[in-house]
Amino acid sequence: MKKDLTANHPNVKLIDTVYGNDDDQTSFDKTSALLAKYPTLKGIVSPTTVGIAAAARYLSTSEFKGKVALTGLRTPDQMRDYITDGTVTAFALWNPADLGYLASYTAKALIDGKITGKEGDSFTAGKLGDFTVGKDGTVVLGDPFTFTKDNIGAFHF
């Protein structure tokens, strides 16, 4: 993340890195401490599902609600209230419907012999388009899906 930030977002300054260790209370406390130390902080990125929920819970009842952008990874049902009340404007996660769709097309391509699972094999996965098998037989869906106030109502998981 640090490399991506430096390379792709030169106007964003990384102030600190803290770890909640996938513990709800630790993540909540770290969010509180971070904002006490840096009251003009503009944003928090939490790459863990526990961390983003704890940070959102803290922000939702603090003076920082609406002032500090929070994003990360979490399921829609667990973030719905924070999106609805404006604590969080967007967060991401892989869309399980698209993952299942891709997995089905990948399995069918293997069964039909269109691919063998070797790096470089390619196939089309219906509405998702073309995919190429990567290193160690992996097929990557791509960028995560972004959930917002406009689309979160369509997802229930």
Instruction: Enumerate domains of the chain plus CATH numbers.
Output: 2-93+146-154 (3.40.50.2300), 96-137 (no CATH)
In Å, how far are 25, 66, 133 from 16, measured between CA atoms? 19, 20, 37
Taking only the tens place, the pLDDT of each residue in 33-84 is: 999 999 999 999 999 999 999 999 999 999 999 999 999 999 999 999 999 9
- pLDDT, residue 119, reads 97
Single-letter code of the amino acid located at 40:
T
Binned at pLDDT 50, 70 and 90, residue 97 comes out as confident
For strands 69-72 and 90-93, give the pairing. unpaired
Burial 42-66 (b: 16+ CB within 10 A, else e): eebbbebbbbbbbbbbbbbeeebbe
Hey, what long-range contacts does 15-20 have (CB within 8 A, 24 or more apart)? Answer: 15/41, 20/46, 20/48, 20/50, 20/51, 20/54
Q: What is the mean pLDDT of residues 97-102?
A: 93
CB 55 within 8 A of CB 70: yes
Of how many residues is the chain composed? 157
- pLDDT, residue 140, reads 95
- Nearest to residue 45, comparing CAs of 17, 65, 64? 17
Q: Which of 60-64, 87-91, 94-98, 135-139 has the lowest mean pLDDT?
A: 94-98
